[in-house]
Structure 1
């Protein structure tokens, strides 16, 4: 763990907090002392994780909805403020993957990945900044090492992760005068359900990707959560506009 109490006294909204990186990051934030609002589409998964964290002493609640729907995202933030009185930090982790060459992606798949990964990120930032405007805060977005470069077979997905980096840097400039820090984490290969699905469809490609990581291993969801916790915390008080790779050196 990054150190007991890193987020003590902080109220943090975790969007996309039901599985994978979001769920294990929520576990890290809880261990670090944060009060949490979890948001995602799957109410059953949210309820189970909320119960687990509450049993460990975390002050936690959840609200279900679709990150690509403006009213749902506004409700995520409003529910946080109503439940806890304020919003200090947000981890915007909701996202979906898409595989295939750019010229072969069905239009409906392209529209969906853009709606979740790009429009959804914009909606989160818009509502979170609204809630933090008078008090400041810290926002961490999940991009990817795919946001730094191109790669065969993930064109639309990688375009969305480039967009997240653009959002992060622009929001850091726009909102720094308000005391709002905006950063991103950029995971490399991470052992998540998404990587498992990719391994099932093209195991050789996954192993080639992991072999290109200098540390010669995929990262864990908890390692991403540790990085996000630090960026959310006051320990990173002079850090804004940064995209932090959590990739074992893959992007070096």
Structure 2
């Protein structure tokens, strides 16, 4: 079950965090993993780990916010491997601030990466997937479903991701393309550690525990847990699932009342 043998899987932001966990898990399940990331060091390190474990992967430096860059990389991948079977739109950035405290340049940056970046990848990959079908999984967030304090731009961008997911799922049903998204709660990634160190120096552990307890389950998620759900949604076992948003949030949406 959950076999991805010889599937060509594109994972954006695969050099760290959730994207890294997805890349490692997909490779173990037999996929040929193509990591698209701006972080050449991180992406190359993940690829090296995958290869050292006897699996297959390649790194492609790519700015998802630039359509020409995405199109060029996707064309290279298609010409080399002959297919694009799976796309995981994971790359994204965060932002903290309310509407009246979000500068225009910060808002634009979040939208161009989190929204246009997803669109750019869809635009490049969908024509190739229409040839024989495929699976897409987008990274949304609990911020798309509930009001999170001081997350105006980020919440806006992730709500857009859910909308794009539904649109693609509807438009490409007849092309045998499935499209879903996942909405994680707080996940313990290097971003979280960096944020705490920068914002609460000397109080990192205290604030980590405080943030962990905002989820009813009492802890943050692990990247590998999110990767497990994404693997299922991209596998043949999930062939009857499309147009859905899957919270994976320790009960945050439904139980945090």
The reply to whether TM is greater than 0.5 is: yes
- Structure 2 unaligned blocks of 5 or more: none
**TM-score (norm: length of structure 1):** 0.94
Q: 2:21 aligns with which of 19, 24, 41?
A: 24
TM-aligned CA deviation for residue 169 of structure 1: 0.7
Displacement of 1:208 in angstroms is 4.3
Question: 1:148 deviation in Å?
Answer: 0.6
Q: In the TM superposition, what whole-angstrom CA distance separates every residue of 1:174-225 from its partner, at most 9, and x where no partner exists?
A: 1111100000111101001222233332567764443232221100001111
SS of the residue 1:245 aligns to: strand
CA deviation after TM superposition for structure 1 residue 60, in Å: 1.1
- 3-state SS, counterpart of residue 251 of structure 1: helix
1:56 CA drift (Å): 1.0
Task: Tell me the equivalent position of 2:252.
Answer: 250
Matched residue, 1:223? 225
Distance in 2 separating the partners of 1:74 and 1:50: 21
| Number of corresponding residues | 249
Shift of 1:236: 0.3
Question: Could you tell me the TM-score, scaled by structure 2's length?
Answer: 0.92
Q: CA deviation at 1:76?
A: 2.8
- Contact 1:6–1:230, Cα closer than 8 Å, also in 2: no
Q: Is 2:135 the partner of 1:133?
A: no
Deviations 1:122-159 (A, max 9, x none): 11111111110111000000011111122111110111
Q: Give the match for residue 70 of structure 1.
A: 67
Q: Which runs of 5+ in 1 are unaligned?
A: none
1:87-123 CA-partner distances (Å, limit 9, x unpaired): 1101110000011111111111111111000111111
Partner of 1:226, secondary structure, is helix
CA distance in 1, matches of 2:214, 2:127: 41
